[in-house]
Amino acid sequence: MKFLGNLIWLIFGGLECAIGYFAGSIALMITIIGIPLGVQTMKLGLLCLWPFGSTVSESANNIGCLSIPMNIIWLVFGGLPTCVAHLLFGLLLCISIIGIPFGMQHFKMAKLALMPFGREITVAI
Question: Quick one: pLDDT at residue 23?
Answer: 93
66-102 residue pLDDT tens: 788 888 888 888 889 989 999 999 999 899 998 898 8
Number of domains, the chain: 1
Query: What pLDDT is stored for residue 63 in this prediction?
Result: 64
Q: Is the dihedral of CA 113, 80, 99, 7 positive or negative?
A: negative
How many CA atoms within 13 Å lie on the side-chain side of 30?
A: 5
Residue whose C-alpha is closest to residue 63's, from 116, 123, 121: 116
Kindly report the number of other CB atoms within 10 A of residue 4's CB atom. Answer: 9
Q: What is the pLDDT of residues 2-38, one digit of tens each?
A: 888 888 888 888 888 889 999 999 998 998 888 888 8
Whole-prediction pTM: 0.82
| Enclosing domain of residue 106 | 2-122
